């Protein structure tokens, strides 16, 4: 399904301009930033983990989701999976098979190849409330291991919660990326807006940022993007619904392109970065 149909206009604020400057080799620097759950992969990895075993989560754990932080809840889930003899190897194998969103593998593969050809002026970033084991394991299995030649360095930078693997016990636990209280939009363990700004200050400036996401915590990092940038909210998810209100839409300076197939994102980038295929 395309991002352009009778019900959804994929272009809210961007109109094609033949005179618009485009990338010319390494003279331009670009940041391509992606959320993970419901964006790179189709579902939410955290809620998928209990499907690794046949035994349902006990109510003492499932009900806990309403009482504690999500990090604490997920650590309870991982402890339960461990008690049911689910090993780290089982978790890794399960992660590798998580379903991508339509067109996403092709898009990410093309971006990695583009980065390989252009060098350090191209940054690929995954910024997510998941965890580094899940993200790196999936990217390695679905993208990197399928490339004709293995990159000398992991091509993605990752901002997310930290995985702690207790090897002797075979137990996975997760530690929050940070503890913040200044942003009310984002959860306490990760403000994506602050994290993206710090990343840009360190690695930028960028000619354009292309940001792909779906959820409420993808709103914060997009609020400060310029009119040269692009934001891609996934159709029918939280950020898309939030943007249906004109007052919310006006808070974003960036061009907004709705998508439910990553080919829409692919084609938009191709239109603005000459050497990207």
> Contact 31/210 with Cβ under 8 angstroms?
yes
1-12 confidence digits (pLDDT tens) = 334 333 344 334
Domain coordinates in residue numbering, the chain: 25-43+100-161+179-272
Q: Which CATH number fits domain 25-43+100-161+179-272: 3.30.420.40, 3.40.50.300, 3.40.50.1000, 3.10.310.30?
A: 3.40.50.1000
38-67 confidence digits (pLDDT tens) = 999 999 999 999 999 999 999 999 887 777
100-121 confidence digits (pLDDT tens) = 999 999 999 999 999 999 999 9
Strand 208-213 to strand 171-175: parallel, antiparallel, or no bridges (unpaired)? unpaired
141-199 confidence digits (pLDDT tens) = 999 999 988 888 999 999 999 999 987 889 999 999 999 999 988 999 999 999 999 99
Question: Distance between terminal CA atoms of the chain?
Answer: 21
């Amino acid at each position: 399904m395309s991002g352009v149909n009778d019900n959804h206009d994929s272009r809210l604020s961007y109109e094609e301009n033949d005179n618009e400057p485009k990338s010319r080799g390494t003279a331009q620097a670009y940041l391509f930033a992606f959320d993970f759950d419901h964006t790179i992969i189709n579902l939410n990895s955290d809620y998928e983990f209990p499907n690794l075993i046949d035994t349902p989560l006990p109510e003492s754990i499932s009900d806990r989701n309403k009482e504690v932080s999500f990090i604490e809840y997920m650590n309870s889930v991982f402890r339960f999976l461990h008690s049911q003899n689910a090993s780290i190897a089982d978790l890794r194998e399960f992660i590798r098979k998580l379903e991508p969103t339509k067109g996403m593998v092709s898009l990410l593969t093309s971006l990695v190849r583009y980065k390989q050809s252009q060098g350090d002026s191209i940054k690929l970033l995954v910024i997510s409330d998941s965890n580094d084991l899940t993200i790196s394991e999936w990217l390695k299995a679905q993208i990197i291991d399928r490339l004709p030649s293995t990159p000398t360095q992991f091509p993605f930078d990752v901002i997310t919660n930290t995985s702690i693997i207790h090897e002797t016990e075979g137990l996975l636990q997760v530690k929050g990326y940070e503890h913040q209280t200044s942003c009310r939009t984002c959860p306490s363990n990760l403000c994506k807006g602050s994290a993206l700004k710090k990343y840009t200050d360190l690695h930028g400036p960028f000619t354009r940022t292309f940001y792909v996401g779906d959820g409420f915590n993808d709103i914060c990092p997009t609020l400060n993007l310029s009119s040269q940038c692009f934001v891609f909210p996934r159709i029918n998810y939280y950020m898309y619904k939030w943007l249906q209100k004109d007052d919310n839409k006006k808070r974003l300076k960036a061009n907004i392109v709705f998508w439910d197939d990553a080919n829409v994102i692919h084609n938009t980038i191709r239109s603005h970065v000459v050497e990207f295929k």
